[in-house]
């Protein structure tokens, strides 16, 4: 089948070994375009301290730690590398010459995931061979309030100019894009309130997993014998900020024979959060820390769990780990924020929402006392309602939307 054209995907993270939710979503966006017949060129301008060379692709460009563009308004601040990357990527004394040297001579669509590299997309459009490229903006969050929350919780002083710059940038991207894609209806509503008319909802999803018998039998004796709950997350700040408060400072809702098992790069942050509490000895005794695991091992751990917890206090967009937990058919306990974008699943009998520490602790005790949830049976109503959570179902409309816009361009 002949190619429909070339899509250039711009991001601040490579897609070679996707780990956090943004990377996973973007990899599946790439696959959606490819499945529909497009050639896709991913290009990341990434912080060089965050990714080793083997984890980067041939078009990816490092953003050095000592580069002057790392400063924001002449100041060295935490959590602004994403915002600063746009200036570096779009400048003649930054990455722009290398970008132009590495990308194809013809690009039909420039898809910018999150607003950070929007300045690069605009710089490319100023070159004649890319002047007619369609611009797609993939909004994973309403970024300004999320950035404000992260900076506030990290006790960064005098950051209002940062959040104002983020707000300007994401509004610019949303208004200038030919198509804007959001992950929750709440964010579609926000973007629409800005005056946008071409905003589409494409929710987050999951890649179905299947643990093999050998991995399950390898992990079974290494995990608690009594019912236990699992928390899997990346080191994104909303995944651990406020974690202790969600439990009221204590993991006493887990019996001495049970555990909260933690996996992913969030692990070390959870350890520090619970060690820095009044009941640190009790809390640490209720944790089993697995850190980051290979996919097959993680699939086995998820399959063996009694249920999942989703202690997400704030943030934007929606959480991919929520989709994974819901897809499993096991018990799920989460904060209200954890179910952004998945509100239609809250009424399922195995789903529990804890709006405060007391409710969260009560839900943990209740779920740990329940018999294991029934396995999902293929073709059953419980199973079928979860098929909409698959990435291929969530993102299938994207290429068709882009192709429709391209056809409309050439209608006299």
The upper half-sphere exposure of residue 74, i.e. CA atoms within 13 Å in the direction of its Cβ, equals 0
Domain boundaries, the chain: 6-205+391-409, 213-389
> What is the DSSP pairing of strand 331-334 with strand 307-310?
parallel
Q: Rounded to two decimals, what is the model's pTM?
A: 0.86
What pLDDT score does 212 carry?
A: 93
- What is the residue whose two structure tokens read 């179905």? 208
Q: 3-class DSSP state for residue 73?
A: coil
User: Contact at 8 Å (CB) between 275 and 284?
Assistant: yes
What pLDDT score does 382 carry?
A: 65
Element containing residue 399 per DSSP (H, E): helix 397-409
d(CA 105, CA 97): 14
What letter would DSSP give residue 260? E
d(CA 388, CA 217): 30
Question: What phi, psi does 35 have (nearest 5°)?
Answer: -60, -30
Which CATH superfamily groups domain 213-389? Answer: Glycogen Phosphorylase B; (3.40.50.2000)
pLDDT of the chain, 412 residues: tens digit per residue:
689 999 999 999 999 999 888 999 999 999 999 999 999 999 999 999 999 999 999 999 999 999 999 999 999 999 999 999 999 999 999 999 999 999 999 999 999 999 999 999 999 999 999 999 999 999 999 999 999 988 998 899 999 999 999 999 999 999 999 999 999 999 999 999 999 999 999 999 998 888 999 999 999 999 999 999 999 999 988 889 889 999 999 999 999 999 999 999 999 999 999 999 999 999 999 999 999 999 999 999 999 999 999 998 876 778 899 999 999 999 999 999 999 999 989 998 999 999 999 999 999 999 999 999 977 666 566 667 788 899 999 999 999 999 999 998 866 5
* Region at 195 (left for phi over 0; alpha for psi -120 to 50; beta for the rest): left
Q: Tokens at residue 36, please?
A: 């529909």
Q: 3-class DSSP state for residue 47?
A: strand
CA end-to-end distance (rounded Å), the chain:
27
Please tell me if the domain spanning 6-205+391-409 has the same topology as the one spanning 213-389. yes
6-205+391-409: CATH topology is Rossmann fold (3.40.50)
Q: Tokens at residue 323, please?
A: 């989709």
């Amino acid at each position: 089948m002949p190619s429909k054209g070339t899509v250039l995907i711009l991001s601040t993270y490579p897609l070679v070994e996707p780990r956090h939710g943004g990377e996973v979503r973007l990899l599946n966006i790439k696959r959606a375009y490819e499945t529909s017949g497009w050639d896709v060129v991913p290009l990341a301008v990434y912080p060089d301290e965050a990714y080793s060379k083997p984890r980067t692709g041939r078009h990816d460009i490092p953003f050095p730690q000592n580069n002057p563009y790392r400063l924001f308004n002449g100041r060295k601040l935490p959590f602004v590398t994403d915002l600063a990357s746009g200036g570096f990527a779009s400048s003649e004394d930054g990455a722009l010459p290398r970008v132009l040297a590495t990308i194809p001579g013809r690009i039909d669509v420039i898809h910018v995931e999150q607003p950070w590299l929007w300045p690069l997309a605009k710089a490319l459009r100023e070159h004649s061979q890319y002047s007619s490229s369609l611009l797609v903006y993939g909004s994973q969050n309403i970024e300004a309030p999320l950035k404000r929350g992260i900076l506030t919780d990290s006790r960064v002083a005098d950051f209002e100019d940062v959040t104002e710059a983020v707000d300007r940038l994401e509004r610019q991207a949303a208004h200038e894009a030919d198509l804007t894609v959001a992950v929750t209806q709440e964010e579609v509503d926000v973007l629409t309130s800005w005056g946008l008319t071409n905003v589409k909802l494409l929710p987050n999803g999951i890649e179905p997993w299947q643990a093999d018998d050998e991995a399950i039998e390898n992990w079974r004796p290494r995990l608690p014998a009594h019912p236990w709950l699992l928390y899997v997350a990346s080191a994104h700040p909303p995944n651990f900020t406020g974690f202790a408060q969600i439990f009221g400072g204590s993991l006493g809702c887990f019996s001495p024979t049970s555990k909260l098992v933690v996996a992913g790069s969030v692990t070390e942050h959870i350890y520090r959060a619970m060690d820095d509490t009044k009941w640190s000895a009790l809390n640490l005794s209720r944790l089993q820390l697995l850190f980051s695991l290979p996919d097959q091992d993680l699939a086995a751990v998820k399959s063996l769990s009694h249920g999942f917890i989703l202690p997400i206090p704030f943030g934007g967009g929606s959480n991919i780990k929520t989709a994974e937990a819901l897809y499993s058919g096991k018990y799920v306990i989460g904060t209200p924020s954890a179910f952004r974008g998945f509100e239609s699943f809250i009424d399922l009998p195995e789903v529990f929402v804890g709006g405060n520490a007391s409710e969260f602790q009560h839900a943990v005790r209740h779920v740990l006392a329940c018999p294991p949830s029934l396995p999902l049976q293929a073709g059953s109503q419980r199973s079928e309602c979860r098929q909409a959570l698959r990435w291929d179902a969530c993102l299938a409309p994207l290429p068709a939307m882009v192709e429709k816009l391209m056809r409309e361009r050439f209608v006299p």
